[in-house]
Amino acid sequence: MTSKRPLILVTNDDGIHAPGIRFLIKIMNTFGDVIVVAPDSPQSGMGHAITINDTLYCEAIQVIKDEPQKEYSCSGTPVDCVKIAINKILKRKPDLCVSGINHGSNSSINVIYSGTMSAAVEAGTQGIAAIGFSLLDYSIEADFKPSEKFIKSIVSQCLSNKMPNGVVLNVNIPKLSENKIKGIKICRQANGHWEEKFDKRTNPLGRDYYWLTGTFVNNDKGEDTDEWALENGYVSVTPTQYDLTAHHAIKDINNWEL
């Protein structure tokens, strides 16, 4: 860590007023100079979406009086927030980008739907150390306090170690009191998927429409996965990459008669 205070970009996908980001900002203020650039409204499930066919608004706001961070509210997606922060708001490349704390899990396959994690991934593609934090509690009244100690430990290590190239961290925190959390496990992403259920309804004009709902299915019995860690009372840290190449499959496909 350099002697000057680190510059930390904070974003999320639940929106700038969500309790999770407010809690994360407070923690980050103990580590460095904080700039918040976050969506003006909830952006859950936006994945790595960017705004290319519409205008983007991004304006300085004060959410809470007398806190030291500067904050900007953006009309776009979490990934838009990171892009506009780097290009238009920050005077230099930040030392760290943290995203969250998400209200709800981003373990296993949820990482690909997650705006929280996509923001971290976007920062990673720009060469910035990045971490997405999620608490396994969807409630607006979720208790983020037990997360604090673990977030501090991970952020501190992230600032003092070099993040491996092309890697960002996906951190999920079980919904437990602090003394029930057993520690931190470095994990792989569990092999899981969603089984959808569409709730069909008819609108007042007689046209059918659907609500997407679904159930997460964990197909993975491994004890080195994020799902296992969370079920067993650990904070999961999954090193996550954006080189999506299935390197092991290149040989197989090379045997096809193309």
Site string for a copy of itself, 144-183 (x = CB under 8 A): ---------xx--xx--x--x-xx-xx------------x
- Counting contacts by CB under 8 A, is residue 48 touching a copy of itself? yes
Contacts of 174 by beta carbon, 8 Å cutoff, 6+ apart: 136, 181, 230, 233, 234, 235
- Return d(Cα 255, Cα 234) in angstroms, integer: 42
Question: Which of 87, 72, 169 has the alpha carbon at shortest distance from 126?
Answer: 87
Tell me how many residues contact a copy of itself (CB under 8 A).
Answer: 87
- Counting contacts by CB under 8 A, is residue 210 touching a copy of itself? yes
| Element at 254 (helix H, strand E) | helix 249-254
- Counting contacts by CB under 8 A, is residue 254 touching a copy of itself? yes
- Counting contacts by CB under 8 A, is residue 216 touching a copy of itself? no
Query: Are the CB atoms for 78 and 99 separated by under 8 Å?
Result: yes
- Return d(Cα 217, Cα 62) in angstroms, integer: 41
CB-nearer residue toward a copy of itself: 59 or 64: 59
Could you say which of 7, 19, 26, 58 contacts a copy of itself (CB under 8 A)? 58
- Return d(Cα 88, Cα 81) in angstroms, integer: 10
Question: Which of 4, 10, 15, 17 has the alpha carbon at shortest distance from 39?
Answer: 15
Residue 43: strand, helix, or coil: coil
Contacts with a copy of itself in 1-40 (CB under 8 A)? none
CB of 54 to a copy of itself, least distance (A): 9
CB of 56 to a copy of itself, least distance (A): 4
Contacts with a copy of itself in 63-122 (CB under 8 A)? 76-77, 79-80, 83-84, 86-88, 109, 111-113, 118, 121
- Counting contacts by CB under 8 A, is residue 42 touching a copy of itself? yes
Residue 125: strand, helix, or coil: helix
Q: Please choose, out of 2-10, 19-27, 56-64, 131-139, the segment that lies near a copy of itself by the rule CB under 8 A.
A: 56-64
